[in-house]
Amino acid sequence: MPDTQADIDREIADISTAVAKAVAGGEPEPEHPLRDYKPYRSTVLRHPHQPLILTEQADTELRGPVFGVTDVTELDRDLTRHGLGEPLGERITLTGRVLDRDGRPVRRQLVEVWQANAAGRYAHHRDQHPAPLDPNFTGTGRCLTDDEGRYSFTTIKPGAYPWRNHLNAWRPAHIHFSIFGTAFAQRLVTQMYFPNDPLFRYDPIFNSVPSEAARQRMIATYDHDLSIPELSLGYRWDIVLDGPAATWMEEGR
């Protein structure tokens, strides 16, 4: 029989209780999820079983790919203009700043996003769940940060979608972010969520981040002043690359 949501809930609660007990006993609060976080079933199968080996970076890793100002256009940041017509769903304006640990802006940084459409389906051949594709929405975009470290996108709020981690498993609505640094080998990947999502408590990926404060830093803030009349609702989300207020990253820091 497949695992149920109740099975996953118990495992998440047990791990959270163990972490809280360790912290109360004087251990530092963990910054990163367990590599074999059991409620997220596939991590048990694919996490490293041997100590990681430090290797020197190849010259190609440090120097490519390279993106210049002319490679990224204004059209790339508006995900609603990549088709022949208007995409379906709730249009949103999303902006924020990419900052270092001291709050300084990270300028001319390539920021990429990818996401599901309003029905919760990716425009990818491996996504075959029975939700409609939108011919006017690819779900991908990119931009360069400005001199204040600011990025901005116009897009469609993604829908929740099922996945096969356990019976009746659903992922909260989210947008994937990629920050490239100055070379491909420095790339960082994370996910941004929307406030007050009822699926947070059920999602083992979201809850694999052990710190409640870190989980909250992955959630955007609704900002009415960013909303554009008759067009879109506004959300703000800053990305901090290092330090005690860092945004959690899937690929480490």
Active site residues per annotation: 122, 161, 171, 174, 176
Instruction: List the beta strands (DSSP E) in 116-187.
Output: 140-144, 150-156, 161-163, 169-171, 174-179
* Phi then psi dihedrals of residue 47, to 5 deg: -75, 155
Strand partners, 177: 113, 190
Closest to 93 (Cα-Cα) out of 225, 250, 252 = 225
d(C-alpha 39, C-alpha 9), whole Å: 8
Closest to 9 (Cα-Cα) out of 184, 165, 224 = 165
d(C-alpha 191, C-alpha 171), whole Å: 12
